[in-house]
Amino acid sequence: MAPQTEQKIILVVRDTRLDELVSRYNTVAQARFYIEHLGADFSDYQREDQVYKAAVKDAEQVLRRIGRVQTLQRAFLPNFIFGARDVVVVLGQDGLVANTLKYLHAQPVIGVNPDPERWDGLLLPFAVRDLAAVVPEVIAGGRDLRPITMARANLSDGQHLLAVNDLFIGAHSHVSARYRLRCGRREEDQSSSGVIVSTGLGSTGWFKSIVTGALGVAGNFIDAPSPADVKSSFAWDADYLYFSVREPFPSRATSASLVFGRVDAASPLVIESHMADNGVIFSDGMLGDCLAFNAGVKATIAVAAHSGHLVV
């Protein structure tokens, strides 16, 4: 059957945990032996794999009746060139939606939950069965789009990196990061476990963990509010970010007074690396797609000029 339109639709998919195990151990049998040898339930990996691949097959069938479909593996996202008019369907967990958004420029993204019994899917409002109705509406411009603010790190050596949830600036391993931090008129040398810069979308993730942990520790020393009573999230389309310094260490050479703050157009965050090597900046938990951040390099972090667009 010929598609209804010539619209190009990109279906973004990912490997399952079983795929990753087979890639590591060569066969399903060897993967089973490894998992069961550790006392874990291998059947759960198989069920997840079966449900996901059935969802991919069903999604491809539905989408091919609507337009021209190209299925894209997550690993190829950084090098894929999206067309300006492409409609992007993401089939996976929330992290796959976030990872896809930062490689786009205004193309609408339809988040599809392949396994609602397994994944909550904050960014996955649709099921595979919804695609037959939703995709034609998106093509016709009849669906609302929710803007998603992104963060951007610009390095003094010309490189840059976008983030949908958060940026990490620090050391590659579990050693202290050394740097000079400036926000607005305040600046200081610091030694810490790294700096996290969060967007509104990311404020329910790593940012929430940082705030919850900080309040929990502080509550044992001062009369601090309970973490359960504090609302740490902020709007997905907010025109600002927040930075948080993890485990700052005050010493004769370093300070720890500038550990949390708002980043906006008037007050970008500037960090200069004092690390001889192993300094990195990565986004959205993707360490494999990082920028080197070593001695002398400056990173300016601000709200990105363009937003993501999530179909709702």
Same-domain check for residues 89 and 168:
no
Give the mean pLDDT of 160-184.
94
Residue 311 lies in a domain: no
> What phi and psi, each to the nearest 5 degrees, are found at residue 304?
-65, 155
Say which CATH number the domain at 81 has. 3.40.50
Question: Are residues 164 and 87 located together in one domain of the fold?
Answer: no
Query: In the prediction, which pLDDT does 229 show?
Result: 65
Pairing verdict, β 291-292 and 279-283: antiparallel
Mean pLDDT, the chain, rounded, equals 93
Assess whether 300 and 169 both reside in one domain: yes
Domain-terminating residue out of 98, 115, 143: 143
Residue 159: the pLDDT is 94
Does the pLDDT at position 257 exceed 70?
yes
Residue 222 confidence (pLDDT): 80
Q: Looking at residue 264, what DSSP letter applies?
A: B
186 in the same domain as 112: no
Mean pLDDT of 30-48: 94
* pLDDT tens-digit readout, 83-128: 999 999 999 999 899 999 999 988 999 999 999 999 988 899 999 9
Of 88, 115, 143, the residue that ends a domain is: 143
Inter-helix orientation angle 42-64/17-25, to 10° = 120
With 80 as the cut, is the pLDDT of residue 284 above it?
yes
Q: List pLDDT tens digits, range 41-68.
A: 999 999 999 999 999 999 999 999 999 9
157/285 same-domain check: yes
Contact 273, 119 (CB under 8 A): no
Tell me if 1 is assigned to some domain. no
Q: Say if residue 34 is in the same domain as residue 63.
A: yes
User: How many domains, the chain?
Assistant: 2
Quick: pLDDT tens for 228-237.
666 778 999 9
- Give the residue carrying structure tokens 């049998």: 29
Our measurement of the distance from residue 100's CA atom to the centroid of its chain's CA atoms, rounded to an integer in Å, reads 9
Whose CA is closest to 13, among 46, 44, 58, 43?
58
304 Cα distance to chain centroid? 15
pLDDT at position 86 is 97
What is this structure's pTM?
A: 0.86
Note the pLDDT of residue 223: 75
Domain harbouring 247, CATH code: 2.60.200.30
Q: Measured in whole angstroms, how far is the alpha carbon of residue 122 from the centre of its chain?
A: 13
Q: Place 1 in a pLDDT band, splitting at 50, 70 and 90.
A: low
Indicate whether 202 and 58 sit together in one domain.
Answer: no
**Helices 28-37 and 42-64: angle between axes, nearest 10 degrees:** 140
Containing domain of residue 178, as a range?
Answer: 151-304
